[in-house]
Amino acid sequence: MRILSAQRWFFQKKPIKTTKKNKKDHIKQIAISLGRYIFLIAFSYILLYPLFYMVSHSFRDPTDFLDPTIEWVPKNYSISPILLAAEVMKFGTSFFNTLHIEIVSAIVQVVTCGIIAYGLARFDFRGKRLLMFVLILTILVPVHMVIIPNYLNFRYFDFLGVIGSVGKLIGKEIRPNLIDTPWTFYLPSLLGVGLKSGFFIFIYMQFFKGVPKELEEAAWIDGAGPWGTYFRIIVPSSGVAVLTVFILSVIWHWNDYYLAQMYLSKNNTLAVELNNIFYSLSAMDIGGYAPESADTAMAGCLMFISPVLIMYLFLQRKFITSIATTGIVG
């Protein structure tokens, strides 16, 4: 019994004496944690301030706009800014145009960029270095520098000059005009040269290089070809890369108004309608100094970002994990 009691006394956790060094370390940890929380709260406020501002102005009555005592919380709530913004932006039509033009192009781009990246990352062939050089150029050269030749290519669409040569032989212009059609977005996405395609191909390549080659070799032994290996082995193993490219592609296509405004004059997307909202308000005799003008613009911005914001809220955890896995920096 004495031995057991001695063992219990020996193994008991002895109180640690508090020293000046321990106190300084404890105070230092508290100061660091406090500074971290202050920084995160301030940074979150800077990020969320525009959203709070949009929500505050989107649900207030126009009479509150002239009340200097109102800063954040309206005295009279109203959905008139939302209704007016929906009318001015032709929300139903422009939302449908955005879905079937921009979002479809984004989804097609996710598929085609993955196929191109797999070929560049896993196979050696003649001209690969030249293609890599062109890929880097597509990332570095902004779309504004090539918008005129691209517009002319779509205005007088031709395939390797064949259609133009036939037209010259018959003495008639037969090259189709693709402007104001969704094909101005579908074709670049199908060919891997769409909006930010070079960057997406690079993301895929960085991920594919980290996939063990043993998986592909096992598939080849089982008789799978390059296409079967890609769709049965590589794609199921590349969920994080696909999710990263999907979210970025959808967001960039959703926010794009430059290409949509250049190529589409009849089928305006939400981004174009939001960009032209003040011109539309002026056409309705609502000037820039009218109370409805600012509130309607804020309501339009809130309606524009809401679908993308909801999508990101559902996918944020997987998206952050995929960004860390694919190794995107900057």
Percent of the chain with pLDDT over 70: 87
User: Does residue 108 register a pLDDT over 90?
Assistant: yes
Q: How far apart are CA 203 and CA 212, in angstroms?
A: 17
Residue 133 is assigned to a structural domain of this protein? yes
Residue 23 is assigned to a structural domain of this protein? no
96, containing H or E segment: helix 91-97
Residue 235 is assigned to a structural domain of this protein? yes
Q: How far apart are CA 117 and CA 221, in angstroms?
A: 23
* CATH number (domain holding residue 232): 1.10.3720.10
**Cβ-proximal residues to 330 (8 Å cutoff; 6+ apart), any chain:** none
Of the candidates 302, 283, 276, the residue with the CA atom closest to the CA atom of residue 54: 302
- Residues 104-120, mean pLDDT to the nearest whole number: 93
Answer with the residue of higher pLDDT: 112 or 160.
112
- Look at residue 63 in the predicted model and tell me its pLDDT: 75
Residue 107 is assigned to a structural domain of this protein? yes
pLDDT in tens, 182-229: 999 999 999 988 888 999 999 999 888 888 888 888 888 878 888 888
Residue 303 is assigned to a structural domain of this protein? no
291 falls in which pLDDT band (50, 70, 90)?
low
DSSP string for 150-199: HHHHHHT--STTHHHHHHHHHTS------TTSTHHHHHHHHHT-STTHHH
Answer with the residue of higher pLDDT: 38 or 77.
38
20 falls in which pLDDT band (50, 70, 90)?
low
pLDDT mean across residues, the chain: 82
Residue 124 is assigned to a structural domain of this protein? yes
76, containing H or E segment: none
pLDDT in tens, 152-173: 999 888 887 788 888 888 888 8
Residue 74 is assigned to a structural domain of this protein? no
Of the candidates 37, 98, 90, 18, the residue with the CA atom closest to the CA atom of residue 260: 98
4 falls in which pLDDT band (50, 70, 90)?
very low
Residue 267 is assigned to a structural domain of this protein? yes
- State the total domains in the chain: 1
Q: At what angle do helices 291-326 and 80-88 cross, to 10 degrees?
A: 80
Greatest Cα-to-Cα distance within the chain, rounded to the nearest angstrom: 115
Q: How far apart are CA 6 and CA 327, in angstroms?
A: 56
User: Does residue 12 register a pLDDT over 60?
Assistant: no
Q: Phi first, then psi: what are they for 237, rounded to 5°?
A: -90, 0
- Look at residue 18 in the predicted model and tell me its pLDDT: 53
Whether the CB-CB separation of 218 and 275 falls below 8 Å is answered with: no
- Show the domain range for 126: 89-275
pLDDT in tens, 21-48: 677 777 888 888 888 899 989 888 888 8
Q: How far apart are CA 196 and CA 246, in angstroms?
A: 12
User: Does residue 19 register a pLDDT over 70?
Assistant: no
- Look at residue 283 in the predicted model and tell me its pLDDT: 75
**Cβ-proximal residues to 328 (8 Å cutoff; 6+ apart), any chain:** 203, 244
